[in-house]
Chains A and B, each alone.
Chain A
Amino acid sequence: MPRRTRVRRGTQLEDSSTNMFLRCQIVIYFFIACALAAAGCSKPGVVIYTSADQTFAEPLLAEFEQKTGVVVQAVYDIEAAKTVGLVRTLLEERSHPRCDVFWNNELIHTMRLASAGLLAPYASPAAADIPAAFKDPKSEWTAFAARARVFIINKDLVKPEDYPKNLGDLLIAKWRGKIGVARPLSGTTLSHFAILYEVLGVDRTRDFIKQLIANDANLPSGNAYVAELVAGGQLAFGLTDTDDYETQRAAGKHVDVVYPGAGGDGTVVLPNSVALIKDCPHPENGKKLIDFLLGRDVERRLAFSDSANIPVRDAVESPPHVKRIGNITIMSAPMPKVAENLDARLDDLKSFFLK
């Protein structure tokens, strides 16, 4: 049947498609209206870039919003690049910063930003009781709520007398193919290996890496996977972060933890750090947010969360399964030098792990 087509007064053409066309227009205009409404609503009072896990950071930031009425726009890292990605973005935006506060779940990259002149000094009154070792002398960053690099052990596969005690135990032939370390190209494992370069020296670290690879270490992309593989019984033990161990422990997995190097080189401890960005668009709100994050309550809540962060202040309460900072033998490392040499160390690590 031919389609009915009519031209009226030279301007309007009606046919069976008219209704269809109007419906399409309505649907499209609805989408546009939604987009405009949403765009109009999103005016941030403070912008934070954070590599803290979204799961833990989001409720804290929501609480800050509620308490202060300041709208927070949070930009999180991606697991494939971790802090490195956010640092990259901050460097990209240095001529016209968008970010006000950088909350980093490790310290080394924050120190690099400080050396690059991207941070503004701010001595938060909330950090008055944080020990000086966790504060920048120029007040460009403040550290809190630490994580430690630990061994996660599958209790079904490793007897207590065989528990690893230091990094050298990753090289024992008995555990060939049954040990795991995240690829040290980003995140805390990169920081850990960068520290090893400064503490052990370049040659010894390279030897360690070669032997680790020769011992058929499983090299997943992140610490969470190491913990998961150990908890699942595919690996006997591995090197991970305390929060990843805690996730498995809280899930009821048969795992145990060892802080390496007690009585020896010590454990690598990596605190969170928070800093104000130089020439940021909302400095006053940024300072308010920093004060909030450095408060005792946030550190206590991070200790009691699944993240199980270690408070750097003695006065902050923590659950029994979270070790007190005073009870950990911390590996002593020249952190500014670690930060300075990080790029060179990353290039060296790539030659081993990125083929």
Chain B
Amino acid sequence: MTRRAIYIIAFILFAALVVWPGIEVLNICIFGDSASASQPAAGVLAGLRQWTLLINTLCLGASVAAGATAVGAAMAWCATRTDLPMRGFVSIAWLGPLFLPALMLGIAWTGMVQIHGFAAIAGIFIFNYYPIAAVFTASSLARADRHALEAAEIAGGRRLARKLLFRQALPSMLAAACGIFIFTIADFSVPDYISSIGPKYNVYSDEVFSRWQRAGDASGAVATSLPPLALGLAAFAAASRLRGRSNCIIRGRFHPAPPRALGPWKIPAVFFVWFVLAVSFMIPVGFFIYTIGSPGVALDALREARRDILNTMIYSAGAAVAALAIALVIGHAAARAGRKTRAAIEAAAALPFALPAIALAIVMIRMWNRGGAADYVYASVGIVIFIMLARFYIFSHAVVSAGLGAVDPDLESAAALAGMGPARRMFLLLPRIAAPSLLGAFLLVFVLSMRELDAIVLIPSGNSSTMFRVYNAIHFNRKEFVAALCAVHVFLTFVPVAICSLFARRGIEVSL
């Protein structure tokens, strides 16, 4: 197979499975939807209610982005720049909330205390998404150069050194904040669940759901997703620019800066770090284990929901593999292409991610619910794999293209001269060289797919999944069952990552 044929096939798959849903959104908004009593997009967006939704969505997104970034940056600073006890453990433990979906964190905390309204929704998101900011900031702070900091300290004291560190970390922090903002405004399940009791906090993603499910207005639902899509794309563009800046800090010989003594701040810092770890992961998981009561309950839950658990693992792994296969070729093309081409590919890949997940699901239903051959996808787990692939492809792409970008092109030329064909170079040579990145991309998409509820909540085939089951069972007062399912889900999300970490001799790379 020639290099061109490989690229053509990959780009067709990329266009059909990742880009097309985004285009379909615009198609429905502009030309309407023949299958429903459609309103023109302009009519939908002109209502006064839109302002309330926009303000609510912006408030939530901005508060969570600011809060999670502040918590994550503080955690990162404590773990990388100070002599905090057990800081090595802390910098692994803060990944815990990523294995615990935000909805489950909400279930745990509403099960323990009466929390409702905006503050509760924002709090749940902040403690669930802060690891993104922590990881970004920590990677930036770890690049702090000892000599540069010493020079700053001599010139302007500790204050200037801190300022230098802050400036160095700022682009990463802001990039993380943009990512957190996108995740937050796209989420439907947490605002819906936390608003189950008390005043309803309406956001765009909830409105999209409502218009589709309750009013049966597909084009209205899709049109309602345009403002959050615009916000998401703007945040993505900002994150991409900031990511580029944070990557150009180190010059010349690098000497890592030693951690600073916390002194009298040690106890407050230890308290803060362990408080965050406890609130975001340890207490919720402990609550689930406590609620389960006996191992028998967990085994019963496993028996009852085994089909759902298996399905969840299948579509998450399926989406991760599919995303990896496409990202290997497209990511390679992006890594070897110019800045503008790279940016265009990234923007196209980001489109489905920036959409509220519910809107993506509606578009996918429209695309695959056509009968005939498409029914094989619509009626099977295939559609769930395709939705996850479209939604999270951008992560696989970013990690793989960063990994392949670091591979010397001369190595490929040498392999070609030695007689290795394009297909073997693409699918054997490059994966071996960039294996840590590929593994990182696989695990990232796997974990994100395991966490996802919104994208599958409308799809009949997504009905048999752990997240769906949990979402429904919480309404039936089955606290032990829900707790057991949540604990099993967290465990099953964590296990593949743990196994890969143990066996990956060269480690796992997730450079975004």
Contacts and interface: CB of A to CB of B under 8 A. Distances in A.
B419 A35 contact: no
Contact of B432 (A18, A31, A32, A49): A18
Nearest to B318: A35
A220 B463 CA distance: 24
B424 A224 contact: no
B459 to A, nearest CB: 9
Nearest to A220: B197
A85 to B, nearest CB: 5
A355 B207 CA distance: 11
Given A55-B476, A221-B195, A7 B381 contact: no
A54 B473 contact: yes
Nearest to A244: B477
Contact of B477 (A58, A221, A247): A247
B317 A54 contact: no
Interface stretch (B134-142, B278-286, B433-441): B433-441
B475 A79 contact: yes
Given A80-B213, A247-B477, A346-B215, A13 B197 contact: no
Contacts of A220: 196-198
Contacts of A88: 212-213, 216
B419 A84 contact: no
Interface string B308-326: 0011011101101100100
A224 B475 contact: yes
A49 B35 CA distance: 21
Nearest to A81: B213
B159 interface: no
A346 B432 contact: no
A334 interface: no
Interface stretch (B78-86, B87-95, B246-254, B500-508): B500-508
A89 interface: yes
Given A7-B418, A17-B506, A92-B35, A76 B463 contact: yes
Contacts of B420: 10-11, 13
B435 A24 contact: yes
Interface stretch (A93-101, A191-199, A262-270): A93-101
A128 interface: no
A247 B317 CA distance: 38
Interface residues of A, number: 62
Nearest to B474: A79
B192 interface: yes
B195 to A, nearest CB: 7
Given A34-B313, A84-B213, A84-B214, A21 B435 contact: yes
Interface in B449-473: 457-458, 460, 463, 468-469, 471-473
A301 interface: no
A34 B213 contact: no
Contacts of B505: 16, 19-20
B433 A17 contact: yes
B288 interface: no
Nearest to A353: B200
A138 B476 CA distance: 35
B473 A23 contact: no
Contact of B200 (A28, A76, A183, A186): A183
B504 A7 contact: no
Q: How large is the interface on B (under 10, 10 to 19, 20 to 34, 35 or more residues)?
A: 35 or more
A289 to B, nearest CB: 17
A27 interface: yes
Nearest to A232: B114
A16 B505 CA distance: 9
Nearest to B196: A221
Contacts of A224: 475-477
Interface string A336-354: 0000000000100000001
Contacts of A18: 432
A93 B438 CA distance: 39
A251 B477 contact: yes
Contacts of B49: 355
B414 interface: yes
B472 A78 contact: yes
A127 to B, nearest CB: 27
Contacts of B381: 35, 38-39
A222 interface: yes
A156 interface: no
B475 A222 contact: yes
Nearest to A93: B369
B317 A20 contact: no
A92 B429 CA distance: 46
Contact of A54 (B369, B414, B433, B472): B472
A185 B206 CA distance: 13
Interface in B40-60: 49, 52
Nearest to B370: A96
Contact of B321 (A31, A74, A229): A31
Interface of A: 7, 10-11, 13, 15-21, 23-24, 27-28, 31-32, 34-35, 38-39, 42, 49, 53-55, 58, 74-81, 84-85, 88-89, 91-93, 95-96, 98, 183, 185-186, 218-222, 224-225, 228-229, 247, 251, 346, 354-355
Interface of B: 35, 49, 52, 192, 195-198, 200, 202, 209-210, 212-216, 304, 310-311, 313-315, 317-318, 320-321, 324, 365, 369-372, 375, 378-381, 414-415, 418-420, 424, 428-429, 431-433, 435, 438-439, 442, 457-458, 460, 463, 468-469, 471-473, 475-478, 496, 499-500, 503-506
12 contacts: A18-B432, A19-B505, A20-B503, A21-B432, A28-B321, A34-B310, A34-B314, A49-B460, A55-B476, A76-B472, A92-B35, A222-B475
Given A55-B478, A98-B379, 13 more contacts: A13-B420, A13-B429, A17-B435, A23-B504, A24-B438, A28-B442, A54-B473, A74-B463, A78-B471, A88-B213, A221-B200, A224-B476, A225-B197
In the A-B complex, the 6 residue pairs with the closest CB atoms: A96-B371, A10-B419, A31-B317, A81-B213, A79-B475, A10-B418
